[in-house]
Chains A and B, each alone.
Chain A
């Protein structure tokens, strides 16, 4: 399954459904999360996605040009950074200490959290366990990378 693609995120969504008990234990999550994958070779390769979390799962995935227009916050990084994170998740059965979303975003590099205001930025912190569990589902996918 190719990353980035709607199909890849939908496959994560299915993993989350199969892991419903864990997501219920974490509690519901209301957030619109943008994911921006920057091409390593220029802006023409940029891809954007919007993941809508509602209740105990991710309800929909859409590809959009500018996720920042609709999302509470956007996780933005180069494809190479996403690749490293996903490969780490796959290798370790979940992100290791140095590859969690929070670890990778805190310095603003390699992944940047972009939000219109601080309240929306804080949404990333409020539901962080849910987002991490969601991306950790990548351990069950066979991911190929574009480019």
Chain B
């Protein structure tokens, strides 16, 4: 034992061990400075519990615009002078922050659900083949696309300075949400006889564009604002897609999660543009990105593997596909309007530039 220890411990460690064995403890940590000593964060609402807002309010814990350190040390802690640099690349608040991210994190953790427990799977009933195939084609699409919103934040998380821990924590909830979305749609596809169906090249191309976006803001715009905004409308339209209570619950619960992600993305874009040191250049770059990205939307909404299953579900069968197309047209209009409204709110006015047709071409 002694021989092994001698090879493992360095001089300081060995000295400490000897001191401890003599009953002499260091106790320096008891004399250390304590910048947050005396803080007694209290729940504003005891029924809800102690929130991040409560602790931030208690010690004025708003993050700095550009923290000096690149460490995992918590905001408000004392840090050794020789801590290593983690190599974070996102060290300025405007590159990641959104003013609603703290309450959104709390909301996300409070409103988690289980795809196993909270969906009334016993309510699934045998459907006519056209409806089952349509539901499964959409379920396949959603199983495919949802995980991008886990992969994307995971790619960028480690590059964000931990000083902005609330953003990283929120993105972790998003990754969990989307894992659950993959789970629930995969389960739906495999729970009622229809099975997994076709994945499309165009969808994969869009997902790759998000995953390989060169900067976080570009990917966030593509994913949170444009992509998830569109999927949010599909989830809202799920009220028309659902053929039973199980499917209705699936779409409703996914809609709640997706709306949080879109809210973060919209407010992040706003923060990014408002606090960017070169706002004009940033605005021009975001417009250029949006010009290109919006070109992908018509492709999505004219793909028969997407549009027609939606119409069949919304109309109530292939026989009523024309009626269903009315509902698809409605979703098209909502999607466009809500996207433009979100951009407008963020300070990126796309109304005069967008090439997404106001009226669906069918």
Q: Chain A: residues with CB nearer than 8 A to chain B?
A: 26-28, 30, 54-56, 97, 100, 102-103, 106-107, 117-119, 121-122, 125-129, 132
Known A-B contacts A106-B237, A117-B341; A126 and B242 likewise in contact (beta carbons under 8 Å): no
Known A-B contacts A27-B110, A97-B244; A126 and B252 likewise in contact (beta carbons under 8 Å): no
Name the 7 nearest CB pairs between A and B, nearest first.
Answer: A27-B111, A27-B110, A125-B259, A118-B341, A103-B239, A126-B259, A102-B239
Number of A-B contacts (CB under 8 A): 82
B225 CB, min distance to chain A CBs, angstroms? 10
A-B contact pairs, 22 of them (CB 8 A): A27-B112, A28-B48, A30-B107, A55-B47, A55-B48, A56-B48, A97-B239, A97-B244, A97-B248, A102-B236, A102-B239, A103-B240, A106-B237, A117-B345, A121-B338, A125-B232, A125-B256, A126-B260, A127-B111, A127-B256, A128-B255, A132-B252
Are the C-beta atoms of B111 and A26 separated by less than 8 Å?
yes
Known A-B contacts A27-B110, A97-B244; A118 and B256 likewise in contact (beta carbons under 8 Å): no
Give the B interface residue count (CB, 8 A).
40
Q: Chain B: residues with CB nearer than 8 A to chain A?
A: 45, 47-48, 100, 103, 106-107, 110-112, 232, 235-237, 239-240, 242-245, 248, 252-253, 255-256, 258-260, 262-263, 266-267, 327, 330, 334, 338, 341-342, 344-345
Are the C-beta atoms of B345 and A118 separated by less than 8 Å?
yes
Are the C-beta atoms of A125 and B255 separated by less than 8 Å?
yes
| Alpha-carbon separation in the docked complex, A106 to B47 (Å) | 33
Chain A residues whose C-beta falls within 8 Å of the C-beta of B110 in the assembled complex: 27-28
| Alpha-carbon separation in the docked complex, A103 to B247 (Å) | 13
Known A-B contacts A27-B111, A106-B330, A128-B256; A119 and B240 likewise in contact (beta carbons under 8 Å): no
Interface of B is mostly: helix
Are the C-beta atoms of B252 and A129 separated by less than 8 Å?
yes
Are the C-beta atoms of B111 and A119 separated by less than 8 Å?
no
A114 CB, min distance to chain B CBs, angstroms? 13
Are the C-beta atoms of B236 and A125 separated by less than 8 Å?
yes
Are the C-beta atoms of B244 and A106 separated by less than 8 Å?
no
Are the C-beta atoms of B236 and A100 separated by less than 8 Å?
no
Known A-B contacts A118-B345, A128-B256; A30 and B263 likewise in contact (beta carbons under 8 Å): no
Chain B residues whose C-beta falls within 8 Å of the C-beta of A118 in the assembled complex: 266, 338, 341-342, 344-345
* Closest chain B residue, CB of each to CB of A100: B239
